[in-house]
Each structure stands twice: as C-alpha cells, then as structure tokens.
Amino acid sequence: MNIVKLMDMQAALDEHIQTKHDLAAENLIERKILALLVELGELANETRCFKFWSLKGPSEKETILAEYVDGIHFILSLGIEQGFVPEVPSALKIDQVDLTAQFTAIYGYISEFRTQLTESSFQKVFTEYLHLGELLGFSAEDVEKAYVSKNEVNYERQKQGY
C-alpha cells in the first residue's frame, strides 16, 4: 500500500472540502472522529458479524470493501489534521480472529485517540484498522484500489452538492 500516495490524495480532498465549505479556520477533529465511528458502525452493519439474531449473511465483498475504505479516508484525514503519517506494518499480526471483538477493540482505540491525540494512539487506530481489513479478507492492493476509486466518487459527490 502506497501510504504517501493515499495521504496526498486525502490531503487534496480535505483541502477541496474545507475550501468549498469555508472550513479552513475550524477544528474538525471531533467531527472527523465521530464520522470515523459512524463509518465503523456502517462497516460492522454490512458484515453483520454481531447480528446473532439473524440468519441473513453479510453484504457482498465489494460493498464491505467500499465501507471499509470510507474509514481509511477518515483515519488518513485525522492523521493529516494532526500532522501524523501512519506507518504500514511490514506484516500484520492478528491478535483477534473474531470480527466483533476487533470492531469493539477499534472503537476503544478511537476513543483513546480522541482523549490523547498522540501519534502512538493514532498509529494504533491505523494498525488495528488494517488488521480489521485483513480479517475481512482484503489485501493492501484491494484497499488501495478501492480507496482511489472512492476518492474519485467523493470528488464527484462534492461537485454535485452532496
């Protein structure tokens, strides 16, 4: 995964949105954190991993991947806002094998980041989110390709007044 490329793309999108919506002077950390939490919930909903009461299976893999990269957008945006560049681990070591446990762990890491806003807490969010992607069966190439595609969609949405 070419994190520099994705960070550059995210910085350009953030700048476009902030300019278009006259947000340059605003601190958007709280809103971006809430957006990330919402996106994480939407992703969990598509996987249906926690829905023990339902027999319906998860959404299509492409739908889940699209939701997953929404989270990548907000994680990168938070890093940019704080001046942090995430490091992509050379190998991911999955501690959790249960999707539900990984989702709830990430909620905790995001909450920790919110209270600490440190580079190490940011890196933990990023790394654990990558672990989640691996648990979902996504390769770094899948994620990068889907990110680029969704970034284009996000620009188009901005043009259309989304």
Q: How do residues 51-86 score in pLDDT, each as one tens digit?
A: 999 999 999 999 999 999 999 999 999 999 999 999
With vertex at residue 43, the alpha carbon angle to CA 50 and CA 57, rounded to the nearest 5 degrees, is 50
Query: What is the chain's mean pLDDT, rounded?
Result: 93
Identify the structural domains of the chain with CATH numbers, from first to last.
Answer: 3-159 (1.10.4010.10)
* Residues whose CB falls within 8 Å of the CB of residue 107, separated by 6 or more in sequence, listed in order: 37, 40
Give the pLDDT band of residue 89 (cuts 50, 70, 90): confident
> What is the value of pTM for the model shown?
0.92
How far is 71 from 22, CA to CA, in rounded Å?
A: 23
